[in-house]
Structure 1
Amino acid sequence: MTQRLAVGEPAPQFSLRNQDGDVVSLEDLAGERVILFFYPQAMTPGCTTQACDFRDNEASLLAAGYTVVGISRDAPEKQSAFRDRDALPFDLLSDEDKSVHLAYGAWGEKNSYGKVVTGVLRSTFVIGPDGTIEHAFYNVKATGHVAMLRKKLGLD
């Protein structure tokens, strides 16, 4: 299992291609508050629920000063299809070699339908303007997660 990040730690740096093939780096977002969410696979039911929940809350999150970014192991082409299909207004980054998943502790053992498997741990991180972890949520549920996050951020 990978090491989990703790509040106050520096967020691991990354540079990944987005749904358009452009490189997006955490460094590009310096000075902003970032909500970085890891999801297992584009266009699956749970991941669609999660991404659409962020989509439906994005305007209020932006108004509160948060930039939303999603990461999965899907190729940029699949991220593009996901973004287009569900009108997702934020970047979806491709971590095909799972290096960023590992750096954030979003890869490891989990229970899936009664079996222990290794894979993506649905996780969300709030990164402060100074580049440190403000919140780290591991093994979150696709449904209701954004509402819980909004409460933790004092937005509701």
Structure 2
Amino acid sequence: MSEQQRLAPGDAAPEFSLPDADGKTVALADYRGRSLVVYFYPAASTPGCTKEACDFRDSLAVLDDAGFDVVGISPDKPEKLAKFRDAEGLTFPLLSDVDKSVMTAWGAFGEKKNYGKVVQGVIRSTFVVDPDGKINKALYNVKATGHVDRLRKDLGV
């Protein structure tokens, strides 16, 4: 994926309106006035994605106290997201981007290396959106393990 397709600090966050695990529509506009952490992950209930989601779950109170909400977005259908949420006790919205249009708009879907091969897929990415809807941080190709701790350090929370 070319650098020009990637978001950078100061860019307007691309709008989204996606179903959550219960089929309720959640939009970026719902978070205006608060900071939002948006993270994209490849698949619910896989080892890395579970670790990352549980790290966000375990940091949610601290992030919330600092004024940050969290949403996770994957290409999974809402039914799978509901099972994942319930199995792991996740308390933040998991959104379904089955057609990957939102991921593409955010630069979180495209060419990536997987075990040395170039493939099309979800690029594990995390963004911090400020209360006005602008990108504050754009982190691409993050590691599932330890990523949330690093993000918290970067945010000073």
SS at match of 2:18: strand
1-structure distance, mates of 2:47, 2:9: 30
Q: Deviations over 1:103-133 (max 9, x none)?
A: 0000111111121111000000000000000
Q: Which residue of 2 aligns with 1:92?
A: 94
Q: For the aligned residues, what is the CA RMSD? A: 0.8
Alignment of 1:109-120 (within 5 A): 109-120=111-122
* CA–CA distance in structure 1, aligned partners of residues 119 and 51 of structure 2: 22
The amino acid that maps onto 2:154 is: K
User: Which deviates more, 95-104 or 111-120?
Assistant: 111-120
Q: Partner of 1:116: helix, strand, or coil?
A: strand
Deviations 1:18-57 (A, max 9, x none): 0010000001111110000000000000000000000010
Where in structure 1 do 4 or more consecutive aligned residues deviate above 6 Å? Answer: none
Cross-structure match for 2:68: 66
State the shift of 1:7 in Å. 0.2
**Structure 1: stretches of 5+ with no match in the other structure:** none
Aligned length: 155
Q: Deviations over 1:33-90 (max 9, x none)?
A: 0000000000000000000000010010001100010000000000000000000010
Hey, what does 1:29 align to over in structure 2?
A: 31
- Counterpart-to-counterpart distance in 2, 1:37 and 1:59: 17
For residues 65 and 11 of structure 1, what CA distance do their matches in structure 2 show? 18
TM-score of the aligned structures, taking structure 1 as reference length: 0.98
Deviation at 1:154, TM superposition (A): 1.2
SS at match of 2:98: coil
Question: 1:10 Cα deviation (Å)?
Answer: 0.5
**Superposition pairs for residues 1-156 of structure 1, below 5 Å?**
1=1, 3-155=5-157
Query: What's the TM-score once normalised by structure 2's chain length?
Result: 0.97
**Identity value in percent:** 61
Q: Secondary structure at the match of 1:37?
A: strand
